[in-house]
Structure 1
Amino acid sequence: MESDSVPKGKMRTGYTTGTSATAGAKAGVLAILNQEKIGLIDITLPKKSKIQIKVEKCEFDNQSAHCYVIKDGGDDPDVTHGAEIHTNVSLTANVGKIEIDGGDGVGRVTKPGLGLEVGSAAINPTPKKMITENITEIAQDLLKKNGIKVLISVPKGKELAPKTDNPRLGILGGISILGTSGIVVPYSTASFAASIRQSIDVTIAMGNDTVVLTTGGRSEDYARSIITLPDHCFVQMGDFSGYTVQQCAKKGIKKAYVAGFIGKLTKMGMGVKQTHVKGSKVDMEFLADLAQKCNASDDTIQEIKKANTARHVFEIVSGKDLKGYFDLVCAQVYNQLRKHSEEKFDIDVIMFDFDGNTIGKYPR
């Protein structure tokens, strides 16, 4: 799996499969418009910065184009590093519509709990949005008379898929097109640890003793909307929660808000100190036990035990209105992190749903 939630060290960043697909799609549309090969393409990332990407191959006619980009993971080469991400772009009669689908080597979703429709291609919402926005930027006139279809394929996707979490998650037949910020920041434990220590040092140097620890960019954005503190108090701890609270204890922090989504918080509640996806997975028995404590029915408990992902559990629980369930997950996180921090400072745990609403807290 790719990750783009870790603060930048001194290693070389790369870009996600989503950014690679966006580059191919935009280059394809530009090739149709200008009737010329595109060798380099500028892409606008979700946070509006730009990145230039090399297009390895570009073929086109008046109605369609085929481009591919080689995915570059920077200094955090995951299994998709070096993979060819192909895009076929074609004009359709669906005026004004941009359709995005997956072809060979892009997985199909067969289980719920991923925030994607069962049966659809495993292309996450952020890459879809990136592709749509980057195409719209250059093709407004074209879209007044035509629709545009983008088909993403990965020739080696079927071979790469077993090396990812996809089979376990019920994504079959290929890899996923992923990314939340568009770039991949290296997972070097040393540079990451240095970045956390530095962030806490800056907070203290600025005269603050309160931090907001988040698992990534999105949880930080949501935390900022409910916690009013200066920028320097927000620390992205990524997957290294145990290390981060130990550093907070050591450096004299007095209070930490810990904010995230159900997946990472569940792992923390289980006592996993390093929650990177390769190193741990969510234990459904653990989540089912918590449901039992909330007086869930036997059917609901069984449903949770068979759930595909923590997000799937979130969907099940939200549908059953199990009062206090998410607070209970937060309480488990609180207990674990208080242990790691030797109970040297106060901790508030906050869980967000995927739209940024607060659904769980401990203490209340």
Structure 2
Amino acid sequence: MSKKPDGPLRKGWTTGACATAATRAAWQALLSGEFPDPVTITLPRGETPSFALIKSEIGDGWARASVIKDAGDDPDVTHGAEIIATIRRAKTGVGITFHAGDGVGMITKPGLPLPVGEAAINPKPREMMTHQIIEIANKFNAAPDVEIEISIPGGQEIAQKTWNPRLGILGGLSVLGTTGVVIPFSCSAWIHSIHRGIDVARATGHNHVAGATGKTSEATIRKFYNLPEETILDMGDFVGGMLKYLRRNPVEYVTISGGFAKLVKLAQGHMDLHSSRSEVDFTKLAETVAALGGDDELVSEIIKANTAKQVLELCASKNVDIAGTIARQAGETARATIDGACAVEVVIIDRNGTIIARAGHGDFNAFKPA
């Protein structure tokens, strides 16, 4: 994740809010012959943002409008993308239907909020667009029978930077946003993706998922268990978000894999492992080493250590298995959080992709490394 800038942060608008604004503008133009520019919408919590139009085109039975997504100060991969809505009249009684244009994905796996075969336009944005269609239709005494097609040029390429391919959303991006507002650095989108990953794994019949703190630990644990892609969760620093969701939506087995420093924080009770939101307590680490039989000199060096990596190296020089103990302690923290919903294993992996400690795998009788 990008570094949070100093000072007050500017909020932005979700892809769903942008699609809703473009939909309103195109539908109003189709009924009146004129595009509102800027176009103003009301969001679920009452905000009334206005959007300047980039594209405004009209033809026989159709109209098209677009806006540029402004995610504020959030490092959103879709910031600056053009969100296009094309509205076409439909047969009387058909109602409102949603379609994926260029750069918007299609759902190919169960477990997501929409069924397989649907455009990846989430329920809340659909609700927001539907509200705009009905409101304008009532204003002009028209039937709300329309096809809404959302396009995001370049969306297929941008989607490769998201969870979409892993979740089975193919061909482009998702149109997301429950409130319409992007809160900078709220991490909600990442945690939402973890939850959807668990949903897909459950819906596709998998009973073992693995949350990884980074790419190295992800690649190592996936190869170790020969796990399919849809069972791997890009947990990052949000172990708490993953475990709390699993407590309510369990699978049989969960593996937590990551580097020593991150998992020391979990062992010490932290649920958010980001460096700006939790720190390694070296005094506690020294107490752990003392309990393992470390001598006074080693304990003193650990209290003064600068990094967890340094602690690992100091313990290795004295044959103290700190990694194994941290794996067990991290497992205890995770099991307390998950409250018995799943069997939990913790795997510590070094920067070279070597497993240096495992704890809890005795409960994984159904899973043996290939």
Q: TM-score range by the shorter chain?
A: 0.5 to 0.7
| 1:326 match: secondary structure | coil
Distance (whole Å) between structure 1 residues aligned to residue 196 and residue 26 of structure 2 = 38
Instruction: Give the corresponding residue for 2:250.
Output: 326
Residues 338 and 139 of structure 1: CA distance in aligned 2, closer, same or farther (over 3 Å): farther
Contact 1:97 1:143 survives alignment (8 Å)? no
Residues 350 and 10 of structure 1: CA distance in aligned 2, closer, same or farther (over 3 Å): farther
Distance (whole Å) between structure 2 residues aligned to residue 98 and residue 143 of structure 1 = 16
Contact 1:20 1:70 survives alignment (8 Å)? yes
Q: 2:230 is matched with which residue: 271, 285, 308?
A: 308
Distance (whole Å) between structure 2 residues aligned to residue 85 and residue 338 of structure 1 = 44
- The Cα of 1:73 is off from its aligned counterpart by 1.6
Contact 1:63 1:91 survives alignment (8 Å)? yes
Contact 2:137 2:143 survives alignment (8 Å)? no
- The Cα of 1:42 is off from its aligned counterpart by 1.2
Residues 79 and 60 of structure 1: CA distance in aligned 2, closer, same or farther (over 3 Å): same
Contact 1:16 1:71 survives alignment (8 Å)? yes
Aligned positions of 1:253-332 closer than 5 A: 306=228, 308=230, 326=250
| 1:174 match: secondary structure | coil
- The Cα of 1:24 is off from its aligned counterpart by 0.6
Residues 10 and 327 of structure 1: CA distance in aligned 2, closer, same or farther (over 3 Å): same
Residues 44 and 99 of structure 1: CA distance in aligned 2, closer, same or farther (over 3 Å): same
Residues 94 and 144 of structure 1: CA distance in aligned 2, closer, same or farther (over 3 Å): same
Identify the structure with bigger relative contact order (alpha carbons < 8 Å, sequence gap 6+).
1
Instruction: Give the gaps of 5 or more residues in structure 1.
Output: 193-214, 218-237, 240-259, 290-301, 312-322, 352-358
- Answer with 1 or 2: which has the greater Rg: 2
| 2:67 match: secondary structure | strand
2:107 counterpart letter in structure 1: V
Aligned positions of 1:232-251 closer than 5 A: none
Contact 1:108 1:172 survives alignment (8 Å)? yes
Distance (whole Å) between structure 2 residues aligned to residue 263 and residue 158 of structure 1 = 19
- The Cα of 1:124 is off from its aligned counterpart by 1.2
1:167 counterpart letter in structure 2: P
Instruction: Give the corresponding residue for 1:186.
Output: 184
**Corresponding residue pairs, total:** 251
Residues 178 and 56 of structure 1: CA distance in aligned 2, closer, same or farther (over 3 Å): same
> Which range moves more in the overlay, 101-110 or 43-52?
43-52
Distance (whole Å) between structure 1 residues aligned to residue 217 and residue 16 of structure 2 = 24
Residues 338 and 271 of structure 1: CA distance in aligned 2, closer, same or farther (over 3 Å): farther
RMSD: 4.7
Distance (whole Å) between structure 2 residues aligned to residue 40 and residue 148 of structure 1 = 22
- The Cα of 1:282 is off from its aligned counterpart by 12
Contact 2:218 2:232 survives alignment (8 Å)? no
- The Cα of 1:113 is off from its aligned counterpart by 2.5
Q: 2:174 is matched with which residue: 142, 154, 176?
A: 176
Distance (whole Å) between structure 2 residues aligned to residue 97 and residue 283 of structure 1 = 49
Contact 2:93 2:145 survives alignment (8 Å)? yes
Identity %: 38
Distance (whole Å) between structure 1 residues aligned to residue 172 and residue 55 of structure 2 = 22
Distance (whole Å) between structure 2 residues aligned to residue 128 and residue 56 of structure 1 = 22
Is 1:166 aligned with 2:164? Answer: yes
Compute the TM-score of the two structures, normalised by the length of structure 1. 0.54
- The Cα of 1:103 is off from its aligned counterpart by 1.1
- The Cα of 1:102 is off from its aligned counterpart by 0.8
Deviation readout 1:163-202 (Å, 9 max, x if unpaired) = 2222222222211111222121222xxxx7xxxxxxxxxx
Contact 1:40 1:52 survives alignment (8 Å)? yes
Deviation readout 1:251-308 (Å, 9 max, x if unpaired) = xxxxxxxxx9586999xx9585xx9xx99979997xxx9xxxxxxxxxxxx9xx5472
Contact 1:39 1:58 survives alignment (8 Å)? no
Contact 1:271 1:336 survives alignment (8 Å)? no
Q: 2:86 is matched with which residue: 76, 85, 88?
A: 88
Q: 1:72 is matched with which residue: 58, 70, 73?
A: 70
Is 1:40 aligned with 2:43? Answer: no
Instruction: Give the gaps of 5 or more residues in structure 2.
Output: 202-209, 234-246, 257-263, 271-283, 285-328, 343-370
Contact 1:90 1:149 survives alignment (8 Å)? yes
Compute the TM-score of the two structures, normalised by the length of structure 2. 0.53
2:12 counterpart letter in structure 1: G
